[in-house]
Structure formats: C-alpha cells, structure tokens
Copies of this chain bind each other. A is one copy, B any other.
Amino acid sequence: MHIRLKVWFEVDGEYIFGDGRAELLRLIEQSGSIKEAASNLRMSYRHAWGQIRKLEDRLGTKLVETRVGGKGGGEASLTDAAKEFLSDYEKFRNNLDVFIQEESRKDLRNIFFK
C-alpha cells in the first residue's frame, strides 16, 4: 500500500503553485535556460514563460532574470527571492512527505499497514 499526495496553492480557484512549477524553477536554475527547462517538461517556451509571469504577478516578486546574449542566445537564472522561495517550498514538501508516511502508518496501521 502506497500513499500518494498532490498539494498545490490556489487563489480564487486558480492554480498558482505546486510541484510542477517548482520543477520548472528548479530546471531553469540547473540549466540556465528557460527553453531547456521547458523542453525537459515537454512544454513550449511560451507556455513556460507564461507560467513564470503569472506566478511573478501573483507573488508581486521577480523570480526569473534573463540576460540577452551568451550561449543559445540568452541566459536565465533565478532571483534570490525565487531561490529562497524554492528552497522553502522544498523544505515544506519534504516535511509533508515525512509527515504523511509516519502519520498514515500510525493512524491506519490496523487495516492498511498490518
């Protein structure tokens, strides 16, 4: 028996942030390229930018900086605010994963985990 979890943040019923956008930010930081990050997630460059813009608007904070030039015609990196945010989110997700594993085994041991 495996426990599965989806968690995300919404405003007025609209998806704002979750594992998907966290992964997008992480890949941008790793690759230095929005295009490469988008391609890894099988989304278009345009869609990836749209997601970042929407998130920046919602948070009122710049998350991704781009520089014209460099290899591939431009480089992208996370702002300090985005790095901190991503790190906080990863901490939150890890804490949540540990909690649900422990808690589900404790609360549901009689049937699921006997």
Q: Which residues of A contact B (CB under 8 A)?
A: 1-11, 16-17, 59, 61, 81, 84-85, 88-89, 91-92, 95-96, 99-100, 103-104, 107-108, 110-112
Nearest-neighbor residue (CB-CB) of A59 within chain B: B111
Q: Determine if A10 and B2 form an interchain contact, defined as CB atoms under 8 angstroms apart.
A: yes
Interface of A is mostly: mixed
8 Å CB contact of A91 from B99, B107, B112: B107
Nearest-neighbor residue (CB-CB) of A17 within chain B: B112
Which chain B residues border A3 with CB–CB below 8 Å? 7-10
Which chain B residues border A111 with CB–CB below 8 Å? 59, 61, 81, 84-85, 88
Q: Determine if B91 and A96 form an interchain contact, defined as CB atoms under 8 angstroms apart.
A: no
